[in-house]
């Protein structure tokens, strides 16, 4: 990542990415589409 970014900002962005992935995974599951945990 770019230098100078506050640690709190980095952690909140990481949390947002994790929650977004969780929502996408659950949505695809509802649609009956299987997803892999890791590539």
Tens of pLDDT, residue by residue, the chain (39 residues)? 567 889 999 999 999 999 999 999 999 999 999 988 776
CA dihedral 13, 32, 35, 23 (to 10 degrees): 10
pLDDT of residue 37: 77
Beta carbons of 21 and 28 less than 8 angstroms apart: no
Q: Answer positive or negative: Cα dihedral of 34, 37, 30, 23.
A: negative
The model's pTM is 0.72
pLDDT of residue 39: 67
């Amino acid at each position: 990542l770019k230098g100078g970014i506050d640690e709190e900002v980095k952690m909140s962005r990481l949390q947002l990415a994790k929650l977004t992935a969780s929502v996408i995974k659950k949505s695809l599951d509802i649609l009956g589409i299987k997803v892999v945990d890791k590539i």
